[in-house]
Chain A
Amino acid sequence: MKVRLLDLAHARSGDKGDMANVGVIALRPEWYPLLVEHLTLARVKQHFAGVITGDVQRYELPNLRAINFLLQGALDGGGTMSLKMDAQGKVFSTAMLRMVLDVPDEQARTLGLPPAPTP
């Protein structure tokens, strides 16, 4: 079943130099393991391909049911250097939540996941 990350998590993003950070937080505690399983380094790198120029780092915070991602080369030099409208990476949070996950039907039912609306 297709599930939107937007329906599983909330998020906040900010900047550190030319890097954007995105903290993704599970909406329900029982959904956190699903985020850990699906939001892999490879998957997030692929999601932001063409958006960022550098590497990605990933840190788990099970205490906050959150995963923190550092996206390097995200802000056209960052801060005052950047020509981007979003020079401080404020809306990378919802860019992350555009991700759609493929979850086995059985698991999705057990966890009570809302299916992605069909376009």
Chain B
Amino acid sequence: MSSSTTKDSNRVVRVASGQGFWGDWLDAPRRQVEGGQVDYLMLDYLAEVTMSILQKQKERDPQMGYARDFIGAMESVLPAVVERGVKVIANAGGVNPVACAHAVHDVARKAGAAGKLKIGVVTGDDLLPRIDELIASGHPLTHMETGAPLSTVRDRVLSANAYIGSTPIVEALARGANVVVTGRSTDTALTMAPLRHEFGWAADDWDRLAAGIIAGHIIECGAQCSGGNCLYDWRNIPDLANIGYPIVEATADGTFTVVKHPNTGGRINVPSVTEQCVYEMGDPNSYITPDVVADFTTIHLEDDGENRVRVFGIKGRPATDKLKVSIAYRSGYKAVGTLLYAWPDALEKAQLADRVLRERLDAMGLKFDKVLTEFVGVSSAHGPLTPHVGEAPEVQLRIGVRSTERSSVERFTREIAPLVLNGPPSVTGFAGGRPKVEEIVAYWPALVDKTVVQTRVEVLS
């Protein structure tokens, strides 16, 4: 239930962010529902390559293919959902939202709460079974940067998902769902959809939809807007151990305030929110989503008391007639090996080891597309921009190789450890064993006509 049922202009809807990526703090979802009043809990699990990992899992077991962490998160927030009416929206469904919903149902059943959940499942984003049909019917799924048609890597494609917007989530909420599980929804739609549902924003109310999207952008990376990874005044940001994840308090006019629960650490102020606004930003005039094109040059921020930032003035423009498609395909192999060299002359020793290793790789005639050496502790973060400031006390040699041939990468992984006995001295840090060969799953962004993607909503109760 929302905090009030009257649709007046002062009514506030609170959307809390509980997960910024798959791998984020396990405690955050529970802290968000227990730390104070929230209406919705939004959990973002999907990064660009996550879908391909999930696709591989589903190939091995047809009941898998979703973010397993979400099931534990649901378990931890279940009392708030069934007793206090907090609703949960998550793109944890990955490539198998239906199996994900059933796993949530199982958890609720074990807790004796299955009757209190209505789980909305959004599908239709998965284009993998339709790729050949799409290509044959004039949708080449051209790479957005290189311009190459998908047919050039067709046999290596692992997953293909359209980024879908807020509409099916709004539909699930309208049909009474209190948990909504999606596949490849945009991160921002997870926040905008409940606001659109609560305030009844029209599908062409561009300014308000843009405001909802920007609210989503600000909180989609979890604590990265509330003091986490914040460069501004970082020494004085209090109590990071107990950091509060962000909450959007929105009103019907599209203005909102970014806040966190009382008695939590971190800090929300104009600089912390500004840092998140520019994170992963492209052209700020046109932030393109399935729902609206948002204009980041219209965002206005002002401090509204301690740990409160008010956001207003946001403008949007009509959505385009395309959806972005995230395609993952196999693209060769890589491995990275490291060794640590100690004082004295640590850098010189690491440099010599690098030359020795490269000479051996050359002599074996191994084929690599790239061999990259970095000297950690000297220049791996800023490369040639790093000033020379005297002798490094220790240096980690880090060498990576990439190849279309697995055998070349495999052989490379056996050439690191020998350097400990047959290379330069004062070396350690090899106890982890040989580096692992990793298959590269590369990302292929494309556009497709909106009309070819039909989303479906099912509500399980």
A41 at the interface (CB under 8 A from B): no
Is the pair B402, A61 in contact by a Cβ cutoff of 8 Å? no
A110 contacts partner chain B, Cβ-Cβ < 8 Å: no
Q: Is A34 an interface residue (CB 8 A)?
A: no
Residues of B within 8 A of A94 (CB): 231, 381-382
Residues of A contacting B48 in the complex (Cβ-Cβ under 8 angstroms): 79
Residues of chain B lying within 8 A (CB to CB) of residue A38: none
**Residues 29 to 79 of chain A near chain B (Cβ within 8 Å):** 47-48, 50-51, 57, 59-66, 68, 70, 76-79
Inter-subunit contact A10/B300 (CB<8 Å): no
Give the contacting residue for A80; candidates B380, B383, B442, B445; CB below 8 A. B442
A109 located at the interface, meaning its Cβ lies under 8 Å from any Cβ of chain B in the complex: no
What is the bound-complex CA distance between A64 and B300, given in angstroms? 7
Q: Are B385 and A98 in contact (CB under 8 A)?
A: yes
Establish whether residues A93 and B231, one from each chain, have CB atoms under 8 Å apart when the complex forms: yes
- Verify A61–B232 contact, CB threshold 8 A: no
Ranked 8 nearest A-B pairs via Cβ: A23-B278, A83-B400, A14-B280, A83-B372, A12-B275, A10-B232, A95-B382, A85-B380
Complex CA gap A62/B274 in Å reads: 12
Cβ distance B229 to chain A, nearest Cβ, rounded Å: 8
Q: Is the CB of B278 within 8 A of A68?
A: yes
User: Which bucket holds chain A's interface residue count?
Assistant: 35 or more
| Contact between B278 and A64, CB atoms less than 8 A apart | yes
What CA separation (Å) do A67 and B204 show in the bound complex?
30
Q: How many A-B residue pairs have CB under 8 A?
A: 124
Given contacts A70-B282, A84-B374, contact A50 B383 (CB under 8 A): yes
List 7 A–B pairs whose Cβ atoms lie within 8 Å, in order of A's numbering.
Answer: A12-B231, A21-B281, A63-B299, A64-B277, A84-B374, A85-B374, A91-B381
Residues of chain B with a CB closer than 8 A to A62's CB: 297
In the bound complex, CA of A77 to CA of B285 (Å): 26
Contacts of A85 in B (CB 8 A): 374, 376, 380-381, 398
Select one of B283, B380, B385, B440 contacting A47, CB under 8 A. B385
Main secondary structure of the interface of B (DSSP, over half): mixed
CA–CA, A65 and B296, complex, Å: 12
Min CB distance, A77 to chain B, in Å? 8
Does residue B172 face the partner (Cβ distance < 8 Å to A)? no
Known: A81-B402, A81-B442, A83-B401. A16 touches B280 (CB 8 A): yes
B169 at the interface (CB under 8 A from A): no
Q: What 0/1 readout, one digit per residue, does chain B (421-461) give for beta carbons within 8 Å of chain A?
A: 00000000000000000001111010000000000000000
Q: Nearest A residue to B52 by beta-carbon distance? A: A80
Which of B278, B298, B331, B385 is in CB contact (< 8 Å) with A12? B278
For residue B110, CB closer than 8 A to chain A, the reply is: no
Write the nearest CB–CB distance from A48 to chain B, whole angstroms: 8
Q: In the complex the two chains form, is A80's CB within 8 Å of B385's CB? A: no
Interface string of B275-296 (1 = CB under 8 A from A): 1111111111100000000001
Judged by a CB distance under 8 angstroms, whether A25 is at the interface is yes
Q: C-beta contact mask, B394-410 vs A, less than 8 Å → 1, else 0?
A: 00001011100000000
With most chain A CB atoms within 10 A of its CB, the pick from B275, B276, B299, B400 is B275
Q: In the bound complex, do residue A95 and residue B385 qualify as a contact, i.e. CB atoms below 8 Å apart?
A: yes
Q: Taking A25-B275, A51-B383, A63-B298 as contacts, is the C-beta distance between A68 and B281 under 8 angstroms?
A: yes
Say how far B381's CB is from chain A's closest CB, in angstroms: 5
CB distance from A58 to the nearest CB of B (A): 11
Name the A residues within 8 Å of B372 (CB-CB).
76, 83-84
Do residues A83 and B336 form an inter-chain contact, with CB atoms below 8 A?
yes
Flag if A63 contacts B297 (CB, 8 Å): yes
Q: How far is the CA of A48 from the CA of B145 in the complex (A)?
A: 21
Tell me if B49 counts as interface (CB < 8 A to partner A).
yes
Is B381 touching A86 in the complex (CB atoms < 8 A)? Answer: yes
Chain B residues within an 8 Å CB radius of A23: 275, 277-279, 281
Partner of A86, one of B297, B313, B380, B400: B380
Min C-beta distance of B184 to chain A, whole Å: 16
Chain B residues within an 8 Å CB radius of A84: 372, 374, 380, 400
Pick from B296, B336, B398, B400: contact of A61, CB under 8 Å:
B296
Interface: B18 (CB within 8 A): no
Contact check: which of A18, A25, A27, A81 meets B278 at CB < 8 Å? A25
